[in-house]
């Protein structure tokens, strides 16, 4: 089901063409100059696994002070997100189709990111598919590397078994400190951006696990 885009009048902002928001991996510098990429200096936050762009577009509306970069491995989701952002006149968003570990390792400088959002990544429940899961040591190592000291990793999942895997792999890195841990279905978070997926999970009685980890200043 297609999610509605909130009404917004773009009269007071410069609306970019749709293609301007979508980055082509083959044309990018290695590593990226993020200020040049966005055409301004501002803190950069990433969302990995943008889906239809529900979170990224609404977060961008709330945070015009940030430069926001979304990653997904599906081209259809990248273009859906770009279309949402263009219709909202959001010039401070960029999206790219790429494997997350490869993109972080190849294009993102150490300590250049203020926050990384990873919400409801595919749990790949069948054991033979576990190797496809996003949350593995190589991914956490790259997230920790690109985060600035004090930067945040924010995550959600509605699958308890996968949450236990995520918690263990993040703790195993050692460079991130747990700052917040809650069940959103039992203890809703003020200001939380609730996607249609999240709302349906709550209605179905799923546990909604949320954590925020902070990059340690040392190491």
Residue 16 has pLDDT above 70, yes or no: no
Q: What local confidence, expressed as pLDDT, does residue 219 receive?
A: 53
Residue 3 has pLDDT above 50, yes or no: no
Take residue 142 and report the two structure tokens written for it.
Answer: 């790259």
**pLDDT tier for residue 36 given thresholds of 50, 70 and 90:** very high
Q: What local confidence, expressed as pLDDT, does residue 68 receive?
A: 98
Residue 191 has pLDDT above 90, yes or no: yes
| Active site (catalytic) residues | 122
Pairing of strands 93-97, 67-72: parallel
Mean pLDDT of 28-53: 95
Domain ranges of the chain: 18-215
In sequence order, what are the beta bridge partners of 154? Answer: 117, 212
Residue 7 has pLDDT above 80, yes or no: no
More confident residue, 22 or 7: 22
Contact 97, 73 (CB under 8 A): yes
Residue 213 has pLDDT above 70, yes or no: yes
pTM of structure: 0.90
Mean pLDDT of 111-140: 94
CATH superfamily of 18-215: Vaccinia Virus protein VP39 (3.40.50.150)
């Amino acid at each position: 089901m297609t999610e509605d885009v909130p009404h917004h009048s773009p009269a007071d902002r410069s609306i970019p063409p749709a293609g301007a928001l979508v980055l082509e991996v083959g044309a990018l510098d290695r590593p990226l100059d993020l200020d040049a990429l966005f055409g301004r200096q501002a803190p950069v936050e990433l969302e990995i696994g943008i889906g239809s762009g529900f979170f990224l577009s609404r977060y961008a509306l709330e945070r015009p002070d940030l430069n926001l970069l979304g990653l997904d491995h599906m081209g259809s989701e990248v273009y859906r997100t770009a279309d949402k952002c263009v219709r909202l006149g959001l010039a401070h968003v960029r999206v790219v189709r790429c494997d997350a570990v490869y993109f972080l390792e190849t294009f993102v400088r150490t300590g250049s990111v203020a926050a990384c959002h990873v919400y409801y990544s595919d749990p790949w429940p069948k054991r033979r598919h576990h190797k496809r899961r996003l949350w593995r040591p190589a991914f956490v190592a790259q997230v920790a590397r690109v985060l600035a000291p004090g930067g945040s990793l924010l995550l959600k999942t509605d699958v308890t078994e996968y949450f236990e895997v995520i918690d263990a792999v993040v703790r195993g890195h050692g460079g991130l400190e747990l700052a917040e841990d809650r069940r959103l279905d039992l203890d809703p978070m003020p200001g939380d951006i609730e996607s249609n997926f999240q709302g349906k999970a709550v209605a179905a009685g799923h546990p909604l696990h949320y954590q925020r980890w902070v990059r340690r200043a040392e190491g």
